[in-house]
Homo-oligomer: A and B are copies of this chain.
């Protein structure tokens, strides 16, 4: 569950759309997820594989179908361990910008 895999998985708009879709309706099959995407089923498969690699999606085979479930934990970890750091530094950064502007004579 490397943080790098999560960041790279989130970089693609199609994959974020897949997460949105699962967030709206969890447990969808590959076909259902691909229904409203403008690409082939195989392309969606690849995107889902990347999301699973990043542990953002878990899948389970049920008969001839495969259900996909959203796992929000990695997103949470990024929020807490990475984004939190920059949020805490926000005021500092803004004062830096202010100081920078003041130096402009």
Give the interface of A toward B (CB within 8 A). 4, 7-8, 10-11, 13, 16, 19, 23, 26-27, 58, 60, 67, 69-72, 75-76, 78-79, 82-83, 85-87, 89-90, 92-93, 96-97, 100, 104
Residues of B within 8 A of A23 (CB): 85-86, 89, 93
In the complex, residue of chain B having the shortest beta-carbon distance to the beta carbon of A78: B83
Query: Are A79 and B83 interface neighbours, CB within 8 A?
Result: yes
The 4 closest A-B pairs by CB, nearest first: A11-B11, A26-B96, A72-B86, A72-B90
Report the bound CA distance from A4 to B10 in whole Å: 10
Query: Are A96 and B11 interface neighbours, CB within 8 A?
Result: no
Query: Which single member of B16, B67, B82, B97 contacts A71 (CB below 8 Å)?
Result: B97
Residues of B within 8 A of A71 (CB): 93, 97
Most B C-beta atoms less than 10 A away, residue of A13, A76, A83: A83
